[in-house]
Amino acid sequence: MKMLAIMRLREYNQIGKYFRTLRIILGTRDPHTVNGKITGSLLRLVTVFTFLSIAILTIILYTRFSIQLKSRADRLINFTALAIAQPLWDYDKNTYAAIIDAVALDPAITYIRVTDDNNTILMETGDVERFSHLTVRETVRRGDRAIGTVRIDFTPLPLLMDVATNTLLNFLAVGFIFSVLLVFIYNTLEGLVHTPLTRLMRSVENIGRGNLDQKVILQTDDEFEKLAGAFNGMLVRLREYQDRMIIESQLRREMEVARQIQTALLPDDLSNDYFEIAASMRPAETVGGDYFDVIQAAGSLWFIIGDVSGHGVTSGLISMMAQTAISTAITANPGIAPAQLLSLIDKILSENLRKMSEDRYMTITLFCSTDGNIVDFTGLHQDILLFRSSDSKVETIATDGIWIGLRDLSIDAGAAMIGQRLQVQLNDVLVLYSDGITEAMNVNEEMYGEDRLLTVLNRHGAGSARAIHDAIVGDVQAHLHTQHDDITLMVLKRK
């Protein structure tokens, strides 16, 4: 009994599952969902098969009806003709009348008529005007002699109801089988299509909420499994991209801090007793390797310009090392000579670069003046341009010495620090610049060059330091296509 109850329970569960699935199929009509599309396709399939089934069943119904009606009519007419042959021969009206009345009890018969061999009506029963589908006649014979005729009219309705009932039962059976097949197809398609797509859709929604720490697992051995693999690979790349973005964001913040530090270390007050000064430094990246400074200490005016090889964060840090070391040394010893100061800075910078394992160097020129007329300088950098206001001509003064910060170089750097001197008159202009100006390239990769710089200086040398500075920077900008190096410019006009 217990096993029988379990089997019955399983049967009820299967039937309940069937009807639940059928209800889902009939209730899911949203064309924007996979279930809706599957349901729509299945319902269209059902509609087509339904109309085909109706057409086929109609043909079957008509064929069966015609065959059965004709067969029934033939049997009845033959039976009647045989049954009344003897009474009709004997003129036994009561007997053949009783036989005709008995045959007329068939609900499919609407009218019966018996005539003799002269076509005289001997008996008739029923309604000759009633609708009939089939009329059959049979000759009544006694041996080989025709002694009369029997006519029977048949209505199709009773037989049609029987045939229709049987056909409808068959149709319901086929419909049930087809609905079971429909549920099976739906469950199969749902397992093959809807379930994998639902998992992928949920994963996409989780990604939209920022959750990248998941993995789609599909074991369907088809395109969906490959799609899940590609999706998981995309998630890995997205996580890697997200990590890179976080690192790059942190780096950008750190670079911005370095830029702010470098900008803060540049001199903000260029006023002094000897020169009108205009200066600027435009790095190729967030942080640049160029350097300029203006320092006043114990009656002396120092102005410095330098360029660390390369550009970017490392070059910027090295230039800040040099700037800090120079400012500290001048503050501690205001009377130091430029050559001595440069030798000291070279030792400090070389040692720091050795610790950093950086093969960098720095071109730098240090200038110092105690009265504005005599300017002592040392260090190797770009040529100094001196605009003489007396004759409006530009002198080019080459710097001498070596690069500082070089490592593993068998040379006496201190001996190479040669002191130089120049004399400046009223309204003379000193132009100091980095190679980012002369090597600036246009779209045709043509360098700006020193000749063009001299031309601009000659044209604007009589103006203020700011006007000269802006004219040079504007002309370089007009020539420049893409900046690849730091651009630094200092203009000092004797006042």
Same domain, 154 and 9: yes
Alpha helices in 212-311 (DSSP H): 223-265
User: Which residues are CB-neighbours of 54 under 8 A, at least 6 positions away?
Assistant: none
Is residue 468 included in any domain, yes or no? yes
- What is the per-residue pLDDT for 415? 55
Structural domain boundaries, residue 49: 2-158
Q: What DSSP string runs through 27-44?
A: H---TTSHHHHHHHHHHH
Is residue 234 included in any domain, yes or no? no
Question: Looking only at Cα atoms, what is the longest distance across the chain?
Answer: 171
Is residue 227 included in any domain, yes or no? no
Do 342 and 401 form a contact (C-beta atoms < 8 A)?
yes
Do 53 and 171 form a contact (C-beta atoms < 8 A)?
yes
Is residue 233 included in any domain, yes or no? no
Last residue of a domain, one of 116, 137, 158: 158
Report residue 211's pLDDT band, with 50, 70 and 90 as the boundaries. Answer: confident
251-257-259 Cα angle (round to 5): 100
Say if residue 34's pLDDT is above 70.
no
Whole-Å CA distances, 450 to 142, 249, 277, 432, 484: 144, 39, 21, 12, 18
Same domain, 270 and 124: no
> The domain that contains 115 carries what CATH number?
3.30.450.20
The per-residue pLDDT for range 214-237, each reduced to its tens digit, is 777 766 676 777 777 777 787 788
Average pLDDT, the chain: 81
Number of domains in the chain: 2
Q: What DSSP string runs through 268-332?
A: S----SSEEEEEEEE-SSSS-SEEEEEEEETTEEEEEEEEESS-SHHHHHHHHHHHHHHHHHHHH
Tokens of 35: 């279930």
- Distance between CA atoms of 410 and 242, rounded to whole angstroms? 48
Say if residue 377's pLDDT is above 90.
yes
Report residue 418's pLDDT band, with 50, 70 and 90 as the boundaries. Answer: confident
Is residue 454 included in any domain, yes or no? yes
> The domain that contains 422 carries what CATH number?
3.60.40.10
Is residue 329 included in any domain, yes or no? yes
- What is the per-residue pLDDT for 402? 80
Is residue 164 included in any domain, yes or no? no
Classify 351 as helix, strand or coil: helix
User: Which residues are CB-neighbours of 439 under 8 A, at least 6 positions away?
Assistant: 447, 448, 485
Using a pLDDT cut of 70, give the percent of the chain over it: 79
The per-residue pLDDT for range 281-326, each reduced to its tens digit, is 888 876 677 889 999 998 899 999 999 887 777 888 888 888 889 9
Last residue of a domain, one of 98, 126, 158: 158
Mean pLDDT of 342-353: 88
Say if residue 274's pLDDT is above 80.
yes
Q: What is the pTM of this model?
A: 0.56
- What is the per-residue pLDDT for 29? 47
Say if residue 433's pLDDT is above 50.
yes
Whole-Å CA distances, 293 to 47, 243, 309, 420, 448: 89, 39, 18, 19, 25
